[in-house]
Amino acid sequence: MPKINLFTTYYADRSPERQMENLYSIRKNLDCSYVDKVYLILQDNNSDPDISGYDHKLQLVPLGERPTFEKLFEIANSHSKEEDFSIIANTDIFFDRHISLLKYIDWKDTALALTRWDILGNGNARFFNRDDSQDVWIFKGRIKKITGDYFIGQHGCDNRLIYEMRQSGYRVQNPSYHLKTFHYHMSQLREYFKDPNYKWVSEPYGYVKPEPLFSPSELHDLKTKDPEMYHLLKNDRRMFRTFRYDFYKKIFRDSKRGEKFKAACKMLVNYHYLKKLTGKGAKAMEYRIDGAWNHVHGGFLKHAFPKFVLGNIVSPLLKIGPVLRMYNAIYESASPKWVNVFHAYVQLPDKDFDWQIRLRNRHRVTTRVERGKKFTMQFALDYRWYSPGLSFLEDRLVSRSGRDACFADVGSNLGMRSLTALSMHRRVIMIEPNRELNAINNSRCTQNNFTDYKILEFGVSSSAGEFTFYYDQSTYLSSFVEERVKPRGYASEEMVQTRTLDDLLSENMQGELYIKVDVEGYEWEVLKGSERILKEHQPTWLIEINDKGENFEKIFNLMHGHGYICCAIRVSEPRPPLLFRITDISDTGAIQESCDFLFCKEDVLKVCQDLF
């Protein structure tokens, strides 16, 4: 009979609240009848968890240091037999009868990396639906040799481990929709962010999407095999998540007609069982709305129906003013998923018209869409679905600022990142050398009665002078860096005047200062001309850095020298962004190739604490 062995670490946390959470999780695992043995690896041999009454099930493993994954694998291999399951988990994770689902998995060259379910204050669990976060790793039999010279619980360890598991020949799965693991961390205390020596595990990384263990038809078959588990999963409110058709979508896109027909039939069979499992009436309809029916029409109707109805019927009607305004209201209120459908299939009329953009703070901004200028239409539509995570952070920063605050938008382009501050009556300075874009921004501000703004038609560099400015074929993506524009095919170039940021903002230094920089690879030159601002005013910076190599290193060292906290912004649409504190230049795990960064002081960081 195979045993389920759990290997987890123990350390005495300095916070009594956090210590209680860890001990609670350990006791829950000891009380779980589906876990046969708990091996508690002591990071400090002098710390005793003081857990009595579990001598038959609990085994302490003195180690005296924080274990790496390689050490955990070594300990697991020394205590588990070939037919046993070895679970490696964070200390604050516990299990229930869902863990018995391990017997339904095909374990040939397979290992699991499971995403957690967070325990909430009301006792319910909420799924942390991400492909870049796992807290539990499960193997059957002897664990293969896996490179794991990094600590469990260290940021980036889960992503690096997935990569190394695949390198060792494992097929990594994440059936977390059904195989639940629970995370008990309601205190939200994370002391490691205060450690100046804290480092990320470096790349390369791997990711694995959460998925169901059973399709609806397979779950229906479970009714006779395991009635208890069948009823547990059947009543799960997230049942619709089992109805996913990424595989079928690929068949519809790439395969011949006969294979498409077979896939369609299999989809309908699963949908039939889904209705049977979830019941009829309002409850079944709720599941349809949440996802099940969307996946069915993903195969049959996702392309044909929207293209026919939206493209051939709705689009011509938009030439009528009231219909266009109604469509505008629907578009701005829709979920990002439907916005993408509208964006793909609905052609807006080829004429001048006004479009209402709804900001995150629910203010509405009117923008003019001009006939023959495709980029004005793209701007109107883009704001709704382009980086809503960044809009969330902007709204947070503007809301906490005083009424005398000033927001400088360096590389303002079409003013997308200025709208939140303008709508909340903050002073805004838009700096952009493109004359055509500045005319559009000025017209929009006039149309919306924005008065406290200034447009400076200059390039920003480390010194005053004249530099070549490159435009791409769309005429609104431009840069001083030729390599940033050339791949798109640049159409023109011109000499533009440049000034330093110190000079441009010298008359606008009253109150708090917030600066956004998006200059397509020219960030370092902008910051070199900002020494006085950095020393005397210490503004909050939101910077897009297009190169995480030498360019980022120079910027990080400059900001760190001025006492700034550096946070990488990982946008996770449509949810709020996640902030990752960078304490060392080697922490590149939080940084994507082109990434936004928040450079700020501790008081600003407190406003964003819930985003870590």
Could you tell me the CA-to-CA distances from 117 to 10, 161, 178, 184, 226 in Å, in that order? 21, 20, 11, 9, 23
Per-residue pLDDT band at 266 (split at 50, 70, 90):
low
Q: Assess whether pLDDT exceeds 90 at residue 110.
A: yes
Tell me what pLDDT residue 308 has.
65
448 versus 343: the higher-pLDDT residue is 448
Is the pLDDT at 287 greater than 60, yes or no?
Answer: no
Q: What is the pTM for the complete model shown?
A: 0.55
- Is the per-residue pLDDT at 197 higher than 70? no
Residue range 123-141: average pLDDT?
90
pLDDT per position as a tens digit, 585-600:
665 554 555 578 889 8
More confident residue, 53 or 93: 93
Structural contact between residues 592 and 578, judged by C-beta atoms closer than 8 angstroms: no
> Which residues in 182-213 are b (16+ Cβ under 10 Å) and which e?
bbbbeeeeeeebeeeebbbbeeeebbbebbbb
pLDDT confidence tier of residue 539, bands split at 50, 70 and 90: very high
Structure tokens at 600: 């700020």
State the pLDDT confidence band at 517, using cuts at 50, 70 and 90: very high
DSSP state of 201: P
286 pLDDT above the threshold of 50: no
Q: What is the pLDDT of residues 301-340, one digit of tens each?
A: 455 556 666 777 888 888 898 999 998 888 888 877 777 7
Residues 566, 453, 331, 297, Cα dihedral to 10°:
-20
57 CA to centre of own chain: 39
Structure tokens at 206: 């791997």
The answer to whether 87 touches 40, Cβ cutoff 8 Å, is no
Rounded mean pLDDT of the chain?
81
Whether 524 has a pLDDT exceeding 60, the answer reads yes
Q: Which helix (H) or strand (E) holds 526?
A: helix 523-528
Is residue 147 within 8 Å of residue 206, measured between CB atoms?
A: no
pLDDT at 555 over 60: yes
User: Is pLDDT of 193 > 90?
Assistant: no
pLDDT at residue 278 is higher than 60: no
Adjacent-strand bridge partners of 581 = 567
| pLDDT for 87 beyond 90 | yes
CATH number of 389-460+501-611: 3.40.50.150
| β strands within 90-245, DSSP E | 93-94, 110-114, 117-119, 125-127, 136-140, 171-173, 182-183
**4-194 and 389-460+501-611, same CATH topology:** no
pLDDT at 240: 43
Per-residue confidence (pLDDT) for residue 248, from 0 to 100? 44
* Domain spans of the chain, in order of start: 4-194, 216-302, 305-385, 389-460+501-611
Instruction: For residue range 225-246, list pLDDT tens digits in order.
Output: 888 787 777 655 444 444 444 4
Helix (H) or strand (E) holding 59: strand 58-62
Decide if 87 contacts 138 (C-beta within 8 A).
Answer: yes
* 47 DSSP 8-state letter: -
pLDDT of residue 235: 59
CATH class entry, domain 4-194: alpha beta
The residues, ordered by sequence, that sit 6+ positions from 343 with a Cβ below 8 Å of its Cβ are 381, 385
What integer pLDDT is reported at residue 265 of this predicted model?
56
pLDDT band at 58 (very low <50, low <70, confident <90, very high): very high
Q: Given the DSSP bridges, would you call strands 117-119 and 37-42 parallel, antiparallel or unpaired?
A: unpaired
Mark out the alpha helices in 348-432 (DSSP H runs): 374-385, 388-400, 419-423
